Amino acid sequence: MQGFIGELKRRNVLRVAAFYAGAGWLLVQIATQVFPFFDISNGAVRSVVLVVLCGFPCALALAWVYELTPEGIKRDRDVDHSAPAAVRAGRKLDRWIIVVLALAVLLLLARTFMSSRDAPAAIAGKSIAVLPLVNESGDPANEYFSDGLSEELISVLGQLHPLRVIGRASSFQFKDSREDPKDIGQKLNVATLLEGSVRRDANRVRIVAELVNAADGTQLWSRIYDRELQDIFAVQSEIAQDVAATLKITLLGSEGRSAARPSNQSLDAYNALLQGNFYVDRSGENELHRAIAFYQDALRLDANYALAHARLALAWEQLARQDLGGADAYAAFAKARAEATQALSLDASLAEAHVALGYVHLSGDFDLASAETEFRRAMELAPETSAPKNALAVIVADRGHIDEALSLVRQSLALDPLGARGFFRLAEFQIALRHFDEAEQSLRRAMELQPRGSQNHALLAVIEIELGRIDAAAADADSEPDEFWRAHATALTRQLLGDPQKADAALNALIERFAIVGPFQIATVYALRKDTDKMFEWLDRAYAIRDPGVNGLLWAPFLNNYRKDPRFAAFCRKAGLPLPPID
C-alpha cells in the first residue's frame, strides 16, 4: 500500500486530484451564481456539476498515464523523474494548487460575509415575544378582546429601548400551542416570552401575566392585574414597566402609552377597534367589510380616534387593491386617503397612518416617490416593526432594485421570523432574480406557516412553469384556494399543456370573470402566449383603471421578456416607472 501511495505521489496523481477538486468546486460555484443572471437555465448548472463529477476519475486516470513536462505532455514511462525538469513540473502544479485554494477561501469568506450581513441577529438578552393571551372568560365571543390586548402589549413593549419585540404574525403562530418555551424561543429567536390569560367579566378584567426565560422555561416574574375595565390602558403601561424593570431597560418618553387609547377614553370605541382588528386579520372581502363597519363605529364614538382612522384607511386600501375594480376601487382609495390624512392630522407620529397613506400613493396614485417618503417615515417612527420594511421593499423593487428589496424583507423577517407574508414576498423577489430553487424554498416555508394562504399555490405554479415542470404547475393551479388567483394560474398553465382549445377557454374564462379587477394578470397570460399586441393592450387597460399590479412591471414574471420592445419603455414612461435596463 505504501508503494502504491508512493507511486501516486511520483506520478503527481495526488497533486492533480487536489487541483481538480479545487478548480471543479470553483467552477460549480461560479455556474450557480452567474448563470441565473444571464437567464441560463438550471439544467445548464446541473450539467456543469455532472461534467465536473464525471471528469474527476478521468483526470486521475490521465494523471496516472501521462506527465506534464516542459516539452509538453508525455507518457509517464518516457519521463525521467530524476531530472530537474520533472521536479519543476511538480512544483508548478503545487503553485497552481495554492492559487486555486486561495481563490476558494476568498469565495467562502465572501459568501460567509454576505450571508451574515442579512442573517437575523443572534438571540440577545433584550428580546421578547408576546404569546397570545388565553381567553378565560368562558365566552368564545370575547376572543377578540384577548387577541386585541395581546396586540396592544406588542405595540406598547415596542416602545421599550432597546428591546426587540417579535411581530404579531409570528407570535400568533403559537396561539393555543403547547410547545416548550425553549423551542418557541429558538423559533422566534428571542430570550424571553410574555404569556398569560385574560378574564373579562362585565366591567372588570383580570390579566395574569408571566415573563419566562425562553432558554430554560424558568419564570422571571408573575403578576395578577385585577382592575376595572376602564383601567385597561393603565394595565398595559404597568405590564410594560414591569417588563422594563425585570430586563433592566429604559422606558421611552411615551411611558408605554398605547396608540389604541381613544382620545375621549371611550371603552366602547376601543372595543369596536379591537373587533375591527379581529376581522381584518381573518382576511377576505366580507371580513374587510365587517372590519370597516366596526372601525366606523369606533369613530362615531370618538371622531378624534387617530388609530381608528389609520386602521380604517388600511382596510379601505386593502379592499380596493385586492377585491374591487373600476369606479368602486377609485371610491375606496379616496376614502382610504381621507382617513389616512385625518389620522395624520390628529397624530403625525402614528406609523400606521404613514403606512396607510403610503399604500394609497402606491396603489391608488401610482406615485412611487410619495409612497416611499411615507414608508421611510414609518420606518423612522417604528424601526422595530416589520410592516414598514415590507412596504418599502415593494417600492424599492418597483424601482428595479431587487437586491435591496430582498435585504429589507430579510430585515422584516428578523422581526417577524414566522410571518408567512414575508416569505411570500421573499419568493417574489427571488423569482425576479431568477433564483427559482431559493424562491421555491421560501414559498414552501410560507405555505407551511399559512397552508390556505391566498396566492401561494398560484405563485408556486409560476415557479414550476419557469422550471419547465408544467404538469406540477397545473396541479398547483388547481390547488389555489382563491378564485381569482386560481383562474389566473389555470390560464397560465393551460397555455403550455399542448391543447390550444383548453388554453383559449381558460384565458377567456379569466377575462369574462375578472377583466375589471385583473387586467394586469391577463396581460401576463398574453405575455406567456407571446401575443405582444394583446399584452400591451391589457397593460394599457390596467394602467387606465390603476391596477396595482402595474407598479411591479419591472419584476413581474413573463412580462420582462419584452423589455427590448420599444412599447415597453414607452409604457414605463406613461406609468411613471423607471426605464428598464436592456440586457
In this predicted model, what pLDDT tens digit does every residue of 378-405 receive, in sequence order?
Answer: 888 887 778 888 888 988 888 888 888 9
Q: Which of 2-16, 128-142, 450-464, 491-505 has the lowest mean pLDDT?
A: 2-16
Beta bridge partners of 201: 204
Which pLDDT does position 233 carry in this prediction? 73
Q: Which of 255-269, 270-284, 456-470, 525-539 has the lowest mean pLDDT?
A: 255-269
In this predicted model, what pLDDT tens digit does every residue of 100-123 receive, in sequence order?
Answer: 667 666 766 655 554 444 334 444
Kindly report the backbone phi and psi dihedral angles of residue 265, in degrees, each rounded to the nearest multiple of 5, phi listed first.
Answer: 60, 25
Task: Work out the average pLDDT over 421-432.
Answer: 90
Q: Measured between alpha carbons, how far is 69 from 75 in angstroms, rounded to an integer? A: 10
Q: Terminal CA-to-CA distance of the chain, rounded, Å?
A: 57
CB 371 within 8 A of CB 580: no
Sequence-distant (≥ 6) Cβ neighbours of residue 32 within 8 angstroms: 45
- What confidence category does residue 253 fall into, taking pLDDT thresholds of 50, 70 and 90? very low
Tell me, yes or no, if the pTM score tops 0.75. no
* Mutual angle of helices 470-479 and 483-494, in 10-degree steps: 160
Which pLDDT does position 97 carry in this prediction? 66
State how beta strands 192-201 and 134-135 pair.
Answer: parallel
Q: Which helix (H) or strand (E) holds 227?
A: strand 219-228
Which pLDDT does position 519 carry in this prediction? 92
Q: Measured between alpha carbons, how far is 516 from 320 in angstroms, rounded to an integer? A: 12
| SS3 category, 293 | helix
Higher pLDDT, 329 or 426: 426
What is the number of helices (H) and of strands (E) in the chain? 25, 10
- Closest to 575 (Cα-Cα) out of 507, 520, 502, 505: 520
- Closest to 146 (Cα-Cα) out of 138, 261, 292: 138
Q: Measured between alpha carbons, how far is 165 from 171 in angstroms, rounded to an integer? A: 10
Which pLDDT does position 94 carry in this prediction? 61
- Closest to 313 (Cα-Cα) out of 342, 284, 286: 342
- What confidence category does residue 331 fall into, taking pLDDT thresholds of 50, 70 and 90? confident
Q: Which helix (H) or strand (E) holds 210?
A: strand 204-213
Question: CB 74: neighbour CB atoms within 10 A?
Answer: 12
Grid cell listed for 229: 375595565
- DSSP-derived secondary structure letter, 144: H
In this predicted model, what pLDDT tens digit does every residue of 218-231 receive, in sequence order?
Answer: 878 788 878 777 77
> Which domains, and CATH codes, for the chain?
2-118 (no CATH), 127-258 (3.40.50.10610)
Among left, alpha and beta (phi > 0; psi -120 to 50; other), residue 456 is alpha
Q: Measured between alpha carbons, how far is 236 from 303 in angstroms, rounded to an integer? A: 23
In this predicted model, what pLDDT tens digit does every residue of 269-301 receive, in sequence order?
Answer: 888 888 888 887 766 667 888 889 988 998 999
In this predicted model, what pLDDT tens digit does every residue of 34-62 receive, in sequence order?
Answer: 655 455 555 666 777 777 778 778 766 76
Q: Measured between alpha carbons, how far is 537 from 523 in angstroms, rounded to an integer? A: 8
Query: Rounded to whole angstroms, what are the CA distances from 416 to 47, 361, 397?
Result: 38, 25, 20
